[in-house]
Structure 1
Amino acid sequence: MAEFYCQSALLPDGWADGVTIRVDDAGLIAGIDTDTQPAKEAARLGTVVPGLANLHSHSFQRAMAGLTERRGEGEDSFWSWRQLMYAFNDRLTPDHVEAIAAWVQVEMLESGFTSLGEFHYLHHGPDGTPYDDRAEMAGRVCAAAASTGIALTLLPVYYRYGGFNAAPAGHGQRRFLNDPDSYAALVEAAQAHVAALPHARLGLAPHSLRAAPVKDISAILPLVENAPFHIHIAEQTQEVEDCIAATGRRPVAHLMDHVAVNADWCLVHATHMDAGETTALARSGAVAGLCPLTEANLGDGLFPARDYLEAGGRIGIGSDSHIRIDLAEELRLLEYGVRLTARRRNALAAPGRSTGRTLFEAALAGGARALKQPAAGLAPGQRADFVELDTENPHLTGRSADALLDSWIFCGDKGCVRSVHVGGQAQVTAGRARARESALAAYRTAIADLLHGGG
């Protein structure tokens, strides 16, 4: 049994001082006491908040961040960006994928994320031939998590077609493709890699309605018991138009017509919903997986956050393409998008409530649900995932309680994070991840090879 003494901590019922957290050998919180004095053997921390889940990640895309910011001849959009991403993917080897994933996980930990949902669809060799281990690439993501200590929910992606109406896949999609039988073999192989990791879960991820028709989605859902299910949906207006043309229904409505969308589901992006879809998704118990920085970078549009939250909807956040990895900035941009359209401040908080705490607690609950990780806060039975904020950082000087959280989210960055524990184990100390140096060296080698042929 390990003990941690926190000068203050954000607990499910609010801020408390003199908090002692007891952690068992499995990394779960065995008990919490408040208004205590530090025991001699307790590790001493300052102000502590729960660790958040990053619920949507394509780790390999971090390596191309910043390389698509040159305008083409026509209008640039998600679709033109996607063609550049496909070309980049052709060069990625298993070693590259592991190195990039480890560096992404280091950046996440240093930002305050303690768990990760890896929406993984780069399965096969460059010509589409499966590796001897069908889950070779997924196994490399797991190997990265073993080295960094982040908690992982691996989400192998089902991707069959290039578009609606069973459109043939294109050259750039060869590495993603499976049918229901080959996907089942992939999932079985991935399970072996996940089973070797502490704090790991396996889920299922039909890529999108354009790549995975609803009959295939229904066929693959039983492959993993009690799995979380994630899907990209309604991210771009063209996708909505194509779905209506193919099915007569908008994407979220079409999915809910054919599949029991419930608390097991995370609908990623869900940017372009009408009022009926917004209310239906909010009432379903599913989580909307929002990635504000990526959605802004790709010009996708703004999620109807205010209407959705007022209808009781649940949200979590992810960093998706990893144009930047910064927990505070994701939450900040979510709020700012609503402020810019509604032309008012503190748009997502109830009267008298802290906006930072509102956003943080919503993302905490939604992220844990979406990943099916026992990390929904500092309470007995939850995993001991917590983040110590650096109250000596200039952005946080003189702040406490909600004002400290607001200052981190609205004027701070990852420099406000002092230490991070996952399952009671220190993975970040003095702002630097335990695995930083080895991960950075491998990442630099991978990037040099990808961009300059090893030069």
Structure 2
Amino acid sequence: MINYWAEHAWLPDGWAERVRLTEADGRFTSVITGAEPEPGDERLTGMVFPGFANAHSHAFHRALRGRTQSGRGSFWTWREKMYALAGRLDPDSLLELARACYTELALAGFTVVGEFHYLHDDHEGRRYADPNAMGRALLEAAREVGLRITLLDTCYLAGGLDDSGHRPPDPVQRRFSDGDVDHWSGRVADLIATETEPAGLTRIGIAAHSVRAVPAADLGAIGAAFPELPLHVHLSEQPAENEACLAHYGRTPARLLDDHGLLGPRTTVVHATHLTADDRARLGGSGTCACFCPTTERDLADGIGPARELADAGAPLALGTDQHAVIDPFEELRGLELHERLRTGERGRFGTEELITAATAAGYRSLGWSDGGTIAAGQRCDLVVVDPSSIRTAGSRPDQLCYAATAADVRRVVVGGRTIVADGLPVQVTPDLTILDRLWEDA
């Protein structure tokens, strides 16, 4: 059992002062406000937030940072560089890369990551001796860092969609595809059956990559394969996706998912950028979560999605870093509000409480951790301590600290009662960052 004491902590009702937290077996057992520290209490020096959730990650994209920024282009030209990187990875190099990425996530204050995983086979599209070797590399990287992970094993069957239908996977996409839903579900079932996690850090979820990569006839089967697991889908990230779906199916991607039973509280749609009023009503009315990735959506010139309208319609909002051009939970939660300001010309579109919920509890729920992301008795003991007196945060009111802080202000990170970042440094692993250069040798 550990007793913590904090001058300030973010609780379900907002900021509270002089908070005494008791942890046992990785969970908060009591949370008392207005308390004085007792002998033996461990003082948390700074502002204490619940653990931040990264609800959408592609760990291997971290190697693209600083290599895809020059020259004109679009999402589609960026994708070609991403595919080139994907073709260079194997289980060993993916483990190294994910270890570096997840260490950076932990240092930034993320305590759980949703890894949207579709690099399944080798670069020729052949299964490894262990068909889940790539997924296990990601799980192992998270364990080494001490990060919670939901591995969202992704079904990816087609190479694209146009008005004539779905194309077979391109050569570079062959390693993404299991061929059909039955082979995908069989591999996922094996992963679930053989992947144990005694520390309680690992969960498995599922994903349909997008309506571009999964024919409509297969959507329902994906949803029905593992009905108890969280389900994620890329949705309407680009206008071209909507146009192709309308041309071939006569309906938007959101309506297509709805028609096949994929919308609902267990589902999270990622990006949700280019939506119609009907799309927003379907997502909100079904309680489908929408995960926004503001730093990626602006980096890739995707556009700005209708976050406020989705929230008002009833859709919970979560946040992710997607391609990791930036890894900073404060940048993402600020981006949710600041993009709204750019889009509407109005300030204060989201309150602080809404932004922090999107960055914490809502993301945890979207990844199947409904008992995390909140500092309350019975919840998992995941917390982040932020320096309120750094050169960036000094002078900030507590309720506006999230507008001033950055990942550099994170001093301590605790997951399940175990410290994984102390004094701004990783505790459990020091990654070899040369992988970020070695992957591009001879490119």
Q: Do Structure 1 and Structure 2 share a fold, with TM-score over 0.5?
A: yes
Range moving further from structure 2, 204-213 or 340-349: 340-349
Q: Percent identity?
A: 37
Equivalent position SS for 2:18: strand
2:125–2:174 contact (8 Å) kept in structure 1: yes
2 CA distance for matches of 1:71 and 1:281?
36
Q: TM-score, normalised by structure 2?
A: 0.94
1:9 aligned partner, one-letter code? A
Please report the RMSD computed on the Cα atoms of aligned residues, expressed in angstroms. Answer: 1.7
Q: Deviations over 1:414-434 (max 9, x none)?
A: 112111101111011111221
Deviation for aligned residue 1:4: 1.2
- Give the gaps of 5 or more residues in structure 2: none
Residue number in structure 2 paired with 1:7? 7
Q: Does 1:191 align with 2:187?
A: no
Aligned to 1:40: 39
The question of whether the paired residues in 2 share the 8 Å contact of 1:54 and 1:117 is answered with: yes
8 Å CA contact retained: 2:111, 2:413: yes
2: CA distance, partners of 1:63 / 1:260: 32
The reply to whether residue 180 of structure 1 matches residue 176 of structure 2 is: no
Maintained 8 Å contact 1:124/1:176: yes
Q: Secondary structure at the match of 1:361?
A: helix
Distance in 2 separating the partners of 1:80 and 1:234: 18
> Which deviates more, 419-428 or 179-188?
179-188
Q: Using the TM superposition, give the Cα deviation of residue 275 of structure 1 relative to its aligned residue in structure 2, in angstroms.
A: 1.1
- The residue number in structure 1 matching 2:359 is 363
Q: CA offset at residue 96 of structure 1?
A: 1.2
CA 1:388–1:193 in structure 2 vs 1: closer, same or farther (change >3 Å)?
farther
Aligned residue number for residue 153 of structure 2: 156
Most deviating of 16-25 and 240-249: 16-25
Residue aligned with 1:19, SS: strand
Partners of 1:31 and 1:55 lie apart in 2 by: 27
Q: Conserved in 1, the CA contact under 8 Å of 2:396 and 2:404?
A: no
SS at match of 1:143: helix
| 1:134-283 aligned within 5 A | 134-164=131-161, 165-178=165-178, 179-192=180-193, 194-196=195-197, 198-224=200-226, 226-283=228-285
Name the CA distance, whole Å, in 1 between partners of 2:20 and 2:194: 35
Look up the SS of the partner of 1:204 in the other structure: strand
Residue deviations 1:390-442 (CA, integer Å, cap 9, x gap): 1221222244431xxx23x3233111211110111101111122145x21x2x
Residues 416/336 of structure 1: CA separation in 2 closer, same or farther (3 Å cut) = same
Q: Which is further off, 53-62 or 92-101? A: 92-101
Q: Name the CA distance, whole Å, in 1 between partners of 2:256 and 2:228.
A: 23
Q: Which has the higher helix share?
A: 1
Aligned mates of 1:231, 1:18 — CA distance in 2: 41
Whichever residue aligns with residue 45 of structure 1, its letter is L
Letter in 1 for 2:42: A
In structure 2, what is the equivalent of residue 300 of structure 1? 302
> Match for residue 413 of structure 2?
420
The answer as to whether partners of 1:20 and 1:33 remain within 8 angstroms in 2 is yes
Cα-to-partner distance string for 1:4-55 (whole Å, 9 max, x where unaligned) = 1112211112222221211122x11112122222222221113211111100
Report the 3-state secondary structure (helix = DSSP H, G, I; strand = E; otherwise coil) of the residue aligned with 1:44. Answer: strand
Give the letter aligned to residue 440 of structure 2.
Answer: L
Kindly state the Cα deviation for residue 276 of structure 1 after the two structures are TM-superposed.
1.5
Most deviating of 12-21 and 94-103? 12-21
Between the aligned partners of 1:412 and 1:42, the Cα distance in structure 2 is 26
The secondary structure found in structure 1 opposite 2:268 is strand
Q: Could you tell me how far apart the structure 2 residues matched to 1:193 and 1:302 are?
A: 40
1:41 aligned partner, one-letter code: G
The one of 327, 330, 341 aligned to 1:328: 330
The 8 Å contact of residues 219 and 262 in structure 2, kept in 1 or not, is answered as: no
1:30 aligns with 2:29: yes
Residue 173 of structure 2 aligns to which amino acid in structure 1? Q
* Number of positions where the alignment pairs a residue of Structure 1 with one of Structure 2: 436
In structure 2, the residue matched to 1:352 is none
CA deviation digits over 1:116-170, x for unaligned, max 9? 0000001110100010111100000011011000100011110011123231111
